[in-house]
Amino acid sequence: MVFWLCAPLVGVSFVVRDGLVLPEASENKDFMASFGAFLQGGESLPVYDHIARVYRKEMQLPVPAPAAELKLPDMADGIADGIALQIGKSSVLTDSETLNKAYSKAHQEGFEISMRNTAQSAEQSPAALDERSGIVSRSRFFAELLNESDGGILPRMSGRGLELLFWTKRAGAGSEIVGCSVRMDALRGRIADVLPAVLSEARILTVLDDMGEPLVAPPSVAAPEWRRPFVAREISPLLPRWEVGVWLANPAALTSRVRFATLAVWVLVAALFFVIVVGSAAVLWILGSEMRVAAQKTTFVANVSHELKTPLTSIRLFAELLLSGKQGNEEKRREYLHTMMSEVDRLARLIDNVLAASKREKENYPMQPLSLSELARDTAEQLKPHLEKSGFAIVLECDESSGALDVWGNREALRQVIMNLLSNAEKYSNRIREIRLSCGDEGKMAVLEVADRGIGVEPRFTDRIFREFFRADDSLSASKSGAGLGLAIARKIAHRHGGDVTYAPRPGGGSLFSLRLPLFTNPKEEGEEDENERSQ
Ligand code: ADP
């Protein structure tokens, strides 16, 4: 009954009575050549088991559930289930030291350890297929097996490949043993049936037999190197050297994908590195410039205090002299008063500059049309007595011949610009004390120039002198004191009038500062001019 339940798997059925194979099977030569001597007690056969099961205790693996009674109908399904399980499951994790110990113990106890059919990670072990099999075997006589169990399945490797023998004690029949050989072609078919799709986009999945040949091979793809799978696992002690494995369907595509991914990662790393370097440089640069500004501001405070104190000291000195009445000379007394006045002017200029520097960019001035020539003349006249007294020759070239130079502007702000330029010309003077103030126009711009024969500006500073707090020589002990605001404010005011202040070295030595402002044309006059042109 057992046999016809699993009829397609049954090869040659046999009965062993009193240590003899009964005639029906004993007439089959192949069967007898493979199993005859074993069944009649004259020969031993290797019995296979997994090393992890033999040395479960030594390898500290969990104790398995007691094996269920094995029946032939279960076998093919059992193997098939085993394969399905192996596909999804990871192997028992044992460290290599414990495994080596188990192998050497197996060797000592007479187990045979065979080599596997495949070598994983071809690139790492390119030459030899030297991986030990997890399935070990030991020769046993049939009588020994009969003492230990009521039945079983025995694989036998012969010149014809793998053969399987199923045997079981017949219940209530004395010493009678029945069984059969298994038809390997039927078993192969059953196993092939349970395999999932052999070929998918990325991988080939199949089972290799004991000869290392695939049970099912994908039809449309070039066969991979079967003995070098991507990953493979032995199936079961019932099928020694059989393995289920996975191969890459298109290793070249995968390699190029890996290369591309590696390249992308490197590009990203390089970009990140670049960003970090540039970012750090930017942070350092910003920090540096912030620190420079902070240092300049500190110097500025010191300079302003010094600038405030100096005129106050001299005003106080002359006021005391006058109050004491010791100076009887009227001429001298007038001179003292003039000096006090010019010190007051200096103070006022400084305060104006500090106030202008603190004004917000968008603050509005009251603007009106005014003549730049006239303003220049006026301011120069105001400073002239003081400058002449200090030994300066003032050349004023802002008369009717240079034109009125009407501009749209704020008188006090523009006066401050001219004052700053003139007082710089005085401050940074040299042996030749000459200041020339000239007016003119360039196209639609009014131009006012302040030229001196002073120390000039070093070429590396020509841009920076217009920055707030910048001084070409900012040490307190320097002979020329200042707060580094005059030119920054002059340029700021010029910008707000739609013009600019620029520096150029004066031919023959000294500096030439130019204030350029857009010429103002009355919209009415413009209209009249247009009409005149049209009527002509
Ligand atoms: P301060 O005169 O208070 O230092 P400024 O903003 O007016 O501030 O000038 C900035 C710098 O430009 C000065 O420290 C000086 O080095 C340079 N500078 C300005 N005007 C002249 C000039 N006429 N001749 C030479 N150097 C000048």
Phi, psi of 17 (to 5 degrees): -125, 135
Centroid of ligand 1 to alpha carbon of 471 (angstroms): 6
Atom of ligand 1 nearest to the CA of 452: 23
Q: Residue 4 pLDDT more than 50?
A: no
pLDDT digits 0-9 by tens, 319-355: 998 998 887 888 888 888 988 988 898 888 888 888 8
CA distance 496 to 414: 11
CA distance 75 to 187: 9
Least confident range from 229-233, 357-361, 374-378: namely 357-361
Q: Tell me how far apart the terminal alpha carbons of the chain are, to the nearest angstrom.
A: 132
Write out the residue limits of the CATH 1.10.287.130 domain(s) in the chain.
Answer: 262-358
Q: Residue 220 pLDDT more than 50?
A: yes
Residue nearest to atom 13 of ligand 1 (CA): 471
- What contacts 532, CB < 8 A, 6 or more positions away? none
Q: Residues enclosing ligand 1, CB less than 6 A?
A: 420, 424-425, 428, 452, 454-457, 465, 470-472, 482-488, 511
Residue nearest to atom 21 of ligand 1 (CA): 424
Write out the residue limits of the CATH 3.30.565.10 domain(s) in the chain.
Answer: 366-525
pLDDT band at 298 (very low <50, low <70, confident <90, very high): confident
Distance from chain centroid for Cα 406: 60
Mutational test site, ligand 1, from 475, 487, 506, max ligand atoms within 8 Å of CB = 487
Q: Residue 474 pLDDT more than 90?
A: no
> Residue 89: its pLDDT value, please?
43
Q: What percent of the chain has pLDDT over 70?
A: 85
Q: Per mean pLDDT, which of 25-29, 170-174, 279-283, 456-460 is the most reliable?
A: 279-283
pLDDT band at 525 (very low <50, low <70, confident <90, very high): low
pLDDT digits 0-9 by tens, 481-508: 778 888 998 999 999 999 999 999 999 9
Q: Residue 3 pLDDT more than 60?
A: no
Mean pLDDT of 302-308: 78
pLDDT band at 283 (very low <50, low <70, confident <90, very high): very high
pLDDT digits 0-9 by tens, 73-125: 455 555 555 554 454 444 445 677 888 888 888 999 999 988 888 886 545 44
Atom of ligand 1 nearest to the CA of 466: 6
- What contacts 92, CB < 8 A, 6 or more positions away? 52, 61
Read off the DSSP letter of residue 336. H
DSSP string, 348-383: HHHHHHHHHHHS-TTPPPP-EEEEHHHHHHHHHHHH
Q: Tell me if 80 sits within 8 A of 191, measured CB to CB.
A: yes
* Strands annotated E in 374-505: 393-397, 406-409, 434-442, 445-452, 500-505
Class of domain 262-358: mainly alpha
**SS3 state at 274:** helix
pLDDT band at 438 (very low <50, low <70, confident <90, very high): very high
Residue nearest to atom 16 of ligand 1 (CA): 472
> Residue 531: its pLDDT value, please?
52
pTM: 0.50
CA distance 199 to 249: 7
Q: Residue 417 pLDDT more than 90?
A: yes
CA distance 444 to 405: 10
Stated as kind and residue range, the H or E segment containing 169 is strand 161-169
Centroid of ligand 1 to alpha carbon of 527 (angstroms): 43
Listed residue (312, 311, 335) closest to 322, CA to CA: 335
CATH of domain 366-525: 3.30.565.10
Phi, psi of 79 (to 5 degrees): -65, -45
> Residue 363: its pLDDT value, please?
63
Mean pLDDT of 509-534: 75
